[in-house]
A and B are shown apart, each in its own frame.
Chain A
Amino acid sequence: MRAGALAAAFAASARERLRHPIDPIGSGIFLALLLFIFAHVWSAIGAGARTAGWGVPQLVTYLLVTETVMLSTSAIHLRIASDVRSGQLGVELLRPVRYAHWELARALGVACVRVVALLAAGLVVVALLVGLPQVDARGAALGLLVMVPLAILVESTMRVLIGVLAFWFEDANAFFWIWQKGGLLLGGVLMPLGFYPDWLQALAAWTPFPLLYFEPARTVVAFDAAAAGAALARLLLWGVALQGLLLLVTRRACRSVALNGG
């Protein structure tokens, strides 16, 4: 029953997004704009010469993959915090499924629609601006079909976890701000980690951020089977660890929550 319920929540969430398509369309337009700007930035500074064979098409495609992970993941923490403040959380807890899994299923339903819209819009823009780079088909398949969905799952798990902190603090924005900026900087969202000084790369390696952004994008753009396999294994480990942490934190949060209103 539980898996069926979560599958139904995932599907309903995706259907709802399709019936109200302004959100994925808006995300697609934003990504197109971002790619347009960065394609011109990379061209202007001639980055291709400085990054071990990565030309402008590779760098723009890299940005497409990292931004797809970041923009596909819905701002679920904002909705959870809003539900806590308004008292709607009371209704959300009245289902015979685990609250954390329910919210995660809903977030993934949204992400499922967004990822298709973002990749479609992004690939067209990349092709028009700089031409599609020559990539290894195995790397593209592994990166886009396995690592990107897994990265979105881990990122969504973290956002639900951040949202659940609102059970205590009624707001989760400060925690999300730290997480998001950590991802932008240490995940190499805007530029590959190879651009960073060694000490910063070493610091990033201790966090999950490169696994969420840099590694899926590198697997698509510059496939290395050994590196991709190691990254995938670490991503899976982080996923399992965060799932456990999410369930633990949610259980404690449900004991402590004080809901407002009638």
Chain B
Amino acid sequence: MSAIRVRDLRKCFSRNRRQPGFAAALRALVRPDSVSVEAVRGVSFDVARGETVAFIGPNGAGKSTTIKMLTGILHPTSGSASVLGFTPWIDRERLVARLGCVFGQRSQLWYHLPVSETFGLLAKVFGVEDAAARSRLRELVDLFEIGDLLDQPVRKLSLGQRMRCEIAASLIHRPEAIFLDEPTIGLDVVARERIRSLLVRLNEQERVTVFLTSHDAGDIEHVCERVLLINDGRLLLDTSVDRLKREHLREKLVEAVIEEPSLVLGLDGAEDLPSEPHHVAIRVDAGRVPVERVIAEIVRRASVRDITVSNPSLERVIATLYQGASP
């Protein structure tokens, strides 16, 4: 059964064009110059219950607009969507009672209040009984390791601490699905890793459907099993993370340590990268030249002490996809 079902979803915004100058400002008062911008152009997809999906795309691709329509914040221009059985923009209040949302650059915590008071407030807002709220809070405190943060005002928390509290706050009412819009933005490596592990455990333990947008390939690789790529308002790719890596990892990196000070192969399909003395780094397009041939050529032309072949990071795969997707 689908947790999210989207069909031909579109959203147009009307934007005023502002010309520079005093005369243009006066003209705009009488006759505003507006233009219609199509942010989302007929997106369709399904997400099963308990699935973990990354919704990726470059800036301005339409990710956040789509999420805002799926959470009922924005009304679409046309198309249909069902989230947990509700039409988001019609049944927003009933839907959000069963949904968790985290926007990495926004906060649902109350700035001057201790974290525990915001949790208590959210439990009341989402209609969680006192006993159930206490028990749920204990679970979340253990899962997110935030016991020592509960009495601190939100304004005193670090970004990493705040994000753990934000995600915990969004789960107080045991949502069936959670939307995360760049939940690791601005976090250091350790905090990012921690948030990812928490999301994986949350999905495993509670089968919460996770719908995540992020520019961080690590988030996608560690948390999600499926990727939707959107650009210029259109869905360009819908595949599993494994398949994405397999199909788009034609590129390999061959690195070797050699006796000679340097080596330039100069093969078609194999790019010699700058490297330190006695080291060789070659980016290989496996579609044009087999990796075995590159290795054989290195061995033939130099005395090799060590050699490794590695895949590029998902980060690079996504960067390539974004470049290919640019209109």
The 5 A-B pairs of least Cβ separation, nearest first, read: A8-B124, A1-B127, A96-B97, A5-B125, A262-B64
B interface with A by C-beta (< 8 Å): 13-14, 59, 63-64, 68, 71-75, 89, 92-94, 96-97, 99, 101, 103, 105-108, 110-113, 117-118, 120-121, 124-127, 153, 181-182
- Given A19-B113, A19-B153, A255-B75, A8 and B64 touching (CB < 8 A)? no
**Residues in A25-63 with C-beta less than 8 Å from chain B:** none
CA distance A59 to B98 in the complex (A): 55
A261 at the interface (CB under 8 A from B): yes
- Verify B117–A15 contact, CB threshold 8 A: yes
- Verify B93–A98 contact, CB threshold 8 A: yes
CA distance A1 to B112 in the complex (A): 25
A97 at the interface (CB under 8 A from B): yes
Pairs across A and B, CB under 8 Å, 12 listed: A4-B127, A8-B121, A12-B121, A87-B105, A90-B73, A94-B96, A95-B96, A96-B94, A96-B96, A257-B73, A261-B105, A262-B105
- Verify B101–A94 contact, CB threshold 8 A: yes
- Verify B106–A91 contact, CB threshold 8 A: yes
CA distance A12 to B120 in the complex (A): 10
A59-88: contact bitstring with B at CB < 8 Å (1 yes, 0 no)?
Answer: 000000000000000000000000000011
CA distance A261 to B60 in the complex (A): 9
Which residues of the other chain, A, contact B103 by a CB distance below 8 angstroms?
A: 90-91
A20 at the interface (CB under 8 A from B): yes
Nearest residue, chain B, Cβ from A98: B93
Which residues of the other chain, A, contact B182 by a CB distance below 8 angstroms?
A: 262
- Verify A88–B106 contact, CB threshold 8 A: yes
CA distance A4 to B117 in the complex (A): 15
Closest chain B CB from A154 CB (angstroms):
25
**Residue from A5, A15, A97, A261 within 8 A of B113 (CB atoms):** A15
CA distance A88 to B63 in the complex (A): 17
Closest chain A CB from B134 CB (angstroms):
15
CA distance A98 to B72 in the complex (A): 13
**Residue from A20, A89, A97, A261 within 8 A of B93 (CB atoms):** A97
Which residues of the other chain, A, contact B126 by a CB distance below 8 angstroms?
A: 5, 96
- Given A12-B110, A261-B105, A94 and B124 touching (CB < 8 A)? no
Which residues of the other chain, A, contact B93 by a CB distance below 8 angstroms?
A: 95-98
Which residues of the other chain, A, contact B120 by a CB distance below 8 angstroms?
A: 8
- Verify B125–A93 contact, CB threshold 8 A: no
A interface with B by C-beta (< 8 Å): 1, 4-5, 7-9, 12, 15-16, 19-20, 87-91, 93-98, 254-255, 257-259, 261-262
Which residues of the other chain, B, contact A19 by a CB distance below 8 angstroms?
A: 112-113, 153
Which residues of the other chain, A, contact B113 by a CB distance below 8 angstroms?
A: 12, 15-16, 19
Nearest residue, chain A, Cβ from B102: A91
- Verify A259–B68 contact, CB threshold 8 A: yes
- Verify B96–A16 contact, CB threshold 8 A: no
Closest chain A CB from B315 CB (angstroms):
19
CA distance A258 to B14 in the complex (A): 9
CA distance A87 to B73 in the complex (A): 11
Closest chain B CB from A194 CB (angstroms):
42
- Verify B125–A9 contact, CB threshold 8 A: yes
CA distance A96 to B173 in the complex (A): 11
- Verify A91–B107 contact, CB threshold 8 A: yes
CA distance A254 to B94 in the complex (A): 16
Give me 15 other A-B pairs in contact (C-beta within 8 A), A91-B107, A257-B73 excluded.
A4-B124, A5-B125, A12-B110, A12-B113, A12-B118, A15-B117, A16-B110, A16-B111, A19-B153, A96-B97, A255-B89, A259-B74, A261-B64, A261-B105, A262-B59
Which residues of the other chain, A, contact B68 by a CB distance below 8 angstroms?
A: 90, 259
- Verify B92–A93 contact, CB threshold 8 A: yes
Closest chain A CB from B310 CB (angstroms):
32
Which residues of the other chain, B, contact A262 by a CB distance below 8 angstroms?
A: 59, 63-64, 105, 181-182
